[in-house]
Amino acid sequence: MSSASEVAGREAVYRLVVAEDAYLIREGIRSALEREEDEVEVLEYCPDLDSLLRAVEEHRPNVVITDIRMPPTNTDEGIRAATALRENHPEIGVVVISQYVSPHYALKLFEHGSAGRAYLLKEHVGHRIQLMEAIREVAAGGSVVDPKVVDVLVEARMRAKNSLLARLSTREREVLAGVATGASNAAIAESLFLTKRAVEKNINSLFAKLDLSDDKATSRRVRAALLFIADSDLEEKSDV
Amino acid sequence: MNGSAVSRGAGLGQLDLETELREYAFGTALEKSDLVVIAVAFAGAVAAVAVVATGGVTSQTTAFSAVLVTNIAALALGGLVWRRARPSSAFGNLLLAEGALVLVSGLAGSPNSVLYLIGMLAVWAVALGATWLLLVFPGSRVTGAAWIVMAAALGTFLLGELPLIFMSSNVFGVSGITGCATACPANPALAVHAPAAAEVFRRVEGVLQATWGLGLVCFLTARFAWASRARRRLTFPVLVSAAPLVAVFTINAVVVDLAGVHPGSSGIEIFAGARIVYPLGFIAGLLFARAYAGEALAFMARKLVGRPSVAAVEQLVRRVLDDPQARLVFWLPRSGHFVDRHGTRAVLDPESAGLTWRAFGHGDAQVLAVVHDVALGEDPELVEAVGAASLLTLENRRLEHDLLDSVDALRASQRRLVGAASAERRKIERDLHDGVQQKLVALRIQLELVRDLARENGLGERLDGLATDFDDALDELRSTAHGIYPPLLADEGLEAALREVARRASVALTLDLEDVGRLSEDRETAIYYCCIEALQNVAKHAGEDAVASLRLWREPKAVRFSVRDDGVGFVPRPGTRGAGLTNMTDRIGAVGGTLAVRSDPGAGTTVSGGVAIDSDRSGDVVGV
């Protein structure tokens, strides 16, 4: 179990390759990362999928930050890059940055395993804590989902009457959302002003209510929670 | 008949119709030539009577002039009727010519020997003309076997009678026309008095005349026996009315001329009566044909109620025309040729296989043609009736067809419009995503960086507020762009896009989504929006506890969807569709799809629909 602070304590230097085709965003990322130069080193900025894959071979970074929609096809190059890297360089963490709040891409990113993958909204790249947390998590094999993506989902599911989420208490829902973002128990405890023990109790009860197995590996726990929020409601009732 | 003549069908304009009705009821106005014919016939008849009355040679002056006048009248009447009824036929003119010859033959009643000779020659011409009329009816030219009879007739005159004129003082008496057996005027053409030679020619004449008469009997009988029904309808009255004349003539030839038995006066009266009667057959034939055509038209009209298929109409045409080869062909104005009912091009060659054709339409615009046996050319009234009835029936079908055509065209243009609109929406979404949204995102990043720096200077709180406003603006823009055209639909197709819709749906929803592959953009958009609209309806109307199910599946030739709920339902009433439902129907209709809504109070609502994917446009299914 690795929390962000533990990773930072090791004073690891993250060697990055960044892929983003839009100039303005690229410059934004550059400014954001320049702030962190004692912790982060950017080896190359790439404008498309091919140059990204080539740069990875050349520099062997430990983290890749990539846009989803890039040349050549402007569809899901970022996801494809993440899939390809899991195959060839499983040790490299990938932070996919996107303008889409849609969980579709997050789930697609996790389709072949969630370890070392993060899904971050582009507008939060400037948010120092979120960005660095994502980089640290994926480098350590963890998973992160932008809280906003989870919020949107939870909100929609809560609007739906009869939703399984409605069986949870408000506190349990908040904890579940935290789990889905990839936050550690400690981080959840901190953000909700709870004790770590209380968070663990909530997790146990909500996972029992939802019939989910609480996986000790955070990355898998994230995926299970996210999948549950996004889809389980739907699939579960499909044979009704 | 002229195959390319366009017959006048039902006129559309009121004026046309009126004119046609008047013509139908009263006939067309008499033409000048008709008036001339009537005047000449009348004057001729008067003259004939005058000639006979002033010192007539015959003992039967009254009978002679009566025969003459009625014969002229009958032939003139027949001629006029024929010219009127069948303007394209020369037979009417033949009748008039025959009438003129009869007129001239009136001179045979004159005591003047030259006039008498001319009159008697005209009598011969009348006999030859009558033979011609009977042989050619209802045509105008002698053909085939009829030439044998005609040759015998001409031979009788040229080889028998004509030489006799130059060598016998009493040549015409034997035919007994005027009855001047003993007191005829002298023969002015007499050149040599040679009784022996004359007897030889008289024999020759007798034999040839008998051949003529018997040949005529055989020919008319045989022709009637072999005739088509149409021709029989026409020739039967002629056969009946000409039978006395032909019989008397033949008996006269065999018994009087050949056997030398002199006829009594009753024989002459029968002959005179037969002459009066026979032209009426030509008129009666025509009336029979017309009456039959009228009956056929009424029969067809009775059979053609409702909306008979083209095949049924064609079948009826065959039955009424009694012609198994008859068929209907339809004019394609744009292609400039006829097609049969299967749409195969029909080549109309007047020469081919004993078939001919007649076109029907409005004014100069032909619509269809009846292809029929050449023999039916003798029954134009029938073909006309059949063609007009077919035209009337199928004209309605054509209008219907045109209407369907324009509905198709309308649908196509609707499809183009919707297609263009959805392409435009997609472009706007891309522009927003790649342009404004991109820039805002970049600014948002910069704002965050600035906020970090500003915190130390106490500007942090104000910038926090700014950041929140910024996020709101970004959210709004994002949802606007998504509403304009969902990027997932464009990138990944229906299944992924609908799954995403379900995730954000505010109703409890079960999913059964099949990967239906990619369809054309307009089809995908249509199905997508119908599903969204239906889900929104569930959220709005189905009630608090309603659970909906969304299905998407692919059939061999269609992609189908359904949105079902177990909510309160409603009573569907025609004409009370909401804007939402109308919208859905329009969208799906624009891509040639269908939509159905079923609902019952308490039993929920089901909206289902489908879009065909086997259409003519290739590349419809981009990938499966």
> For position A10, what pLDDT does the model report?
46
Mind listing the pLDDT tens digit for each residue in B369-386? 888 887 777 778 888 888
Q: Give Cα separations from B347 to A48, B310, B329, B476 (angstroms).
A: 65, 19, 10, 68
- A197: closest CA of chain B, how far (Å): 32
Task: Name which of B316, B312, B310 is nearest B329 in CA terms.
Answer: B310
Q: Are residues B202 and B83 in the same domain?
A: yes
What is the distance, to the nearest Å, from the Cα of residue B315 to the centroid of all Cα atoms in its chain? 14
Q: Do A231 and B499 touch (CB under 8 A)?
A: yes
What is the distance, to the nearest Å, from the Cα of residue B125 to the centroid of all Cα atoms in its chain? 44
Residue of A101, A104, A153 lying closest to B478 (CB–CB): A101
Q: Which of B399, B426, B445 is the last residue of a domain?
A: B399
**In-domain check, residue B473:** no
Highest mean pLDDT among A79-93, A225-239, B104-118, B338-352: A79-93
A105 touches A211 (CB < 8 A): no
B288 or B231: whose pLDDT is higher?
Answer: B288
Q: Do B491 and A75 touch (CB under 8 A)?
A: yes
**In-domain check, residue B424:** no
| Least reliable range by pLDDT among A26-40, B52-66, B401-415, B467-481 | B52-66
Q: Do B434 and A22 touch (CB under 8 A)?
A: yes
**pLDDT over 50 at A8, yes or no:** no
B192 touches B166 (CB < 8 A): yes
| Least reliable range by pLDDT among B35-39, B120-124, B216-220 | B35-39
**Coil, strand, or helix at residue A160?**
coil
> For position A119, what pLDDT does the model report?
93
B588 or B351: whose pLDDT is higher?
Answer: B588
Q: Give the chain A residue whose CA is nearest to the CA of B439.
A: A24
> For position B9, what pLDDT does the model report?
40
> For position B26, what pLDDT does the model report?
47
A115 or B172: whose pLDDT is higher?
Answer: A115
DSSP label at residue B187: -
Handedness of CA B36, B38, B43, B45 (dihedral sign): positive
Select the residue from B480, B488, B504 to test the A interface by mutation, using most A Cβ atoms within 10 A: B504
pLDDT classification of A4: cutoffs 50, 70, 90: very low
**In-domain check, residue B316:** yes
Q: Which of B274, B295, B316 is the last residue of a domain?
A: B295
> For position A154, what pLDDT does the model report?
80
Q: Is the CB of residue A76 less than 8 Å away from at least one CB of chain B?
A: yes
- Chain B residues with CB-CB distance to A237 below 8 A: 508-510, 547
B500 touches B488 (CB < 8 A): yes
Q: Are residues B289 and B330 in the same domain?
A: no
Q: Give the chain A residue whose CA is nearest to the CA of B474.
A: A123
pLDDT classification of B624: cutoffs 50, 70, 90: very low
**In-domain check, residue B463:** no
For the purposes of burial, counting CB atoms within 10 Å of the CB of B234, is it exposed (0-12), middle (13-18) or buried (19 or more)? buried
Q: Give the chain B residue whose CA is nearest to the CA of A21.
A: B434
- Chain A residues with CB-CB distance to B476 below 8 A: none
Q: Are residues B170 and B260 in the same domain?
A: yes
Work out the percent of chain B whose per-residue pLDDT is above 70: 82
DSSP label at residue A48: S
**Coil, strand, or helix at residue B361?**
strand
**In-domain check, residue B421:** no
> For position B52, what pLDDT does the model report?
60
Q: Give Cα separations from B5 to B363, B577, B611 (angstroms).
A: 11, 54, 49
Q: What is the DSSP track for B519-568? A: --HHHHHHHHHHHHHHHHHHHHHS-TT-EEEEEEEEETTEEEEEEEE-S-
What is the distance, to the nearest Å, from the Cα of residue B348 to the centroid of all Cα atoms in its chain? 14
Query: Mean pLDDT, chain B, as a whole number?
Result: 78
Q: Are residues B86 and B188 in the same domain?
A: yes
**In-domain check, residue B314:** yes
Structure tokens at A61: 């970074």
Q: Are residues B66 and B183 in the same domain?
A: yes
> For position A77, what pLDDT does the model report?
92
Q: Tell me the mean pLDDT in the region B196-224.
A: 86
Residue of A32, A230, A240 lying closest to B503 (CB–CB): A230
pLDDT classification of B8: cutoffs 50, 70, 90: very low
Question: How many domains, chain B?
Answer: 3
**pLDDT over 80 at B489, yes or no:** yes
A116 touches A94 (CB < 8 A): yes
Q: Are residues B390 and B510 in the same domain?
A: no
Q: What's the CATH code of the domain at B575?
A: 3.30.565.10
Q: Give the chain A residue whose CA is nearest to the CA of B470.
A: A123
Q: Do B496 and A104 touch (CB under 8 A)?
A: yes
Q: Are residues B323 and B395 in the same domain?
A: yes
**pLDDT over 70 at A7, yes or no:** no
> For position B3, what pLDDT does the model report?
40
Mind listing the pLDDT tens digit for each residue in B245-271? 888 888 877 777 666 666 555 666 777
Q: How many interface pairs between A and B have CB atoms less than 8 angstroms apart?
A: 112
Residue A156: CA count within 13 A, CB half-sphere = 21
Mind listing the pLDDT tens digit for each residue in B9-29? 433 334 455 555 555 544 555
> For position A9, what pLDDT does the model report?
47
| Least reliable range by pLDDT among A119-123, A166-170, B221-225, B617-621 | B617-621
**Coil, strand, or helix at residue B175?**
helix
Mind listing the pLDDT tens digit for each residue in A37-72? 889 999 999 999 999 999 999 999 999 999 998 988
- Chain A residues with CB-CB distance to B545 below 8 A: 161-162
**pLDDT over 60 at B503, yes or no:** yes
> For position B182, what pLDDT does the model report?
58
Q: Give the chain A residue whose CA is nearest to the CA of B535.
A: A160
B363 or B624: whose pLDDT is higher?
Answer: B363
Q: Do B438 and A29 touch (CB under 8 A)?
A: no
> For position B1, what pLDDT does the model report?
39
**Coil, strand, or helix at residue B624?**
coil
**pLDDT over 80 at B457, yes or no:** no
Q: Tell me the mean pLDDT in the region B596-620.
A: 75
Q: Is the CB of residue A156 less than 8 Å away from at least one CB of chain B?
A: yes
Q: Do B448 and A104 touch (CB under 8 A)?
A: no
> For position B144, what pLDDT does the model report?
84
**pLDDT over 60 at A11, yes or no:** no
**pLDDT over 90 at B35, yes or no:** no
Q: Give the chain B residue whose CA is nearest to the CA of A67.
A: B438
Q: Which of B399, B424, B452 is the last residue of a domain?
A: B399
Q: Give Cα separations from A77 to A20, A54, A68, B51 (angstroms).
A: 11, 14, 5, 119
- Show the domain range for B82: 31-295
- B504: closest CA of chain A, how far (Å): 5
Q: Are residues B280 and B366 in the same domain?
A: no
Judge if ipTM > 0.85.
Answer: no
Q: Are residues B209 and B95 in the same domain?
A: yes
> For position A218, what pLDDT does the model report?
62
Q: Give the chain B residue whose CA is nearest to the CA of A24.
A: B442
Mind listing the pLDDT tens digit for each residue in B309-322? 888 888 888 888 88
**In-domain check, residue B620:** no
Q: Do A122 and B441 touch (CB under 8 A)?
A: yes
Task: Name which of A233, A9, A16 is nearest A134 in CA terms.
Answer: A16
Q: What is the DSSP track for B474-531? A: HHHHHHHHHHHS-HHHHHH-HHHHHHHHHHH-SSEEEEEE----B--HHHHHHHHHHH
Highest mean pLDDT among A142-146, B169-173, B399-403, B545-549: A142-146
Q: Are residues B248 and B326 in the same domain?
A: no
A11 or A46: whose pLDDT is higher?
Answer: A46
- B505: closest CA of chain A, how far (Å): 6
Mind listing the pLDDT tens digit for each residue in B279-301? 888 888 888 888 888 888 888 88
Mind listing the pLDDT tens digit for each residue in A185-222? 888 888 888 888 888 888 888 877 777 766 666 666 77
Q: Tell me the mean pLDDT in the region B478-497.
A: 86
- Chain B residues with CB-CB distance to A154 below 8 A: none
Residue of B446, B478, B500 lying closest to A28 (CB–CB): B446
Q: Are residues B316 and B194 in the same domain?
A: no
Q: Do B449 and A25 touch (CB under 8 A)?
A: no
> For position B450, what pLDDT does the model report?
84
pLDDT classification of A16: cutoffs 50, 70, 90: very high
DSSP label at residue B623: B
List of residues 6+ apart from A174 with CB closer than 8 A: A192
**In-domain check, residue B481:** no
Which domains are assigned to chain A?
A: 4-145 (3.40.50.2300), 148-233 (1.10.10.10)
- Rounded CA separation B343/B340 (Å): 5
Mind listing the pLDDT tens digit for each residue in A93-111? 999 999 888 888 888 888 8
Q: Are residues B167 and B70 in the same domain?
A: yes
